[in-house]
Amino acid sequence: MMAHEDCIFCKIIDGDIPSAKVYEDEKVYAFLDISQVTKGHTLVIPKEHTKNIYETSPETARELFSRIPVIANAIRDVYQPLGINLLNNNEAAAEQSVFHLHVHLIPRYGDGDGYYPNWTTHTEDYSSEDLQSVAKAISEQIKQ
């Protein structure tokens, strides 16, 4: 695994920075987020340094995402949250602050639990023709 020398998550994987480890195998490391938005808030990261989802190989993504249900179910079994949010931010504009791919597992305990996702929908701005056009553009790019 190639560690990135100035990456805080690579330093956590290498043991240079302590963490509250939840899970580890040869490809994936999971640990409690130091901020603990809610109890059990866990970060799941590939051991291979990859900046974000754009730069991640399908193989690394498969390894990472295949561990998430196992970890999420363990959180559920231990703390009985009402639900869980999976969150991944890519690039500064999307509020990525550590540039090593990571997925937040944020257990939800009800109103006032500390996590407040907020976005504005623009349903009225898109006709069904607009939606078909957007979908076609993305689909055609995938086929290239």
Alpha-carbon gap, residue 47 to 24, rounded angstroms: 9
Alpha-carbon gap, residue 32 to 55, rounded angstroms: 24
Alpha-carbon gap, residue 12 to 33, rounded angstroms: 12
Alpha-carbon gap, residue 64 to 66, rounded angstroms: 6
Q: 41, 49, 102, 104: which one is catalytic? A: 102
Report in angstroms the alpha-carbon separations of 125 from 47, 103, 118, 120, 135: 41, 30, 19, 12, 15
Residue 102 bears catalytic tag: yes
Is the backbone of residue 95 left (phi > 0), alpha (psi -120 to 50) or beta?
left
Residues annotated catalytic, as ranges: 102
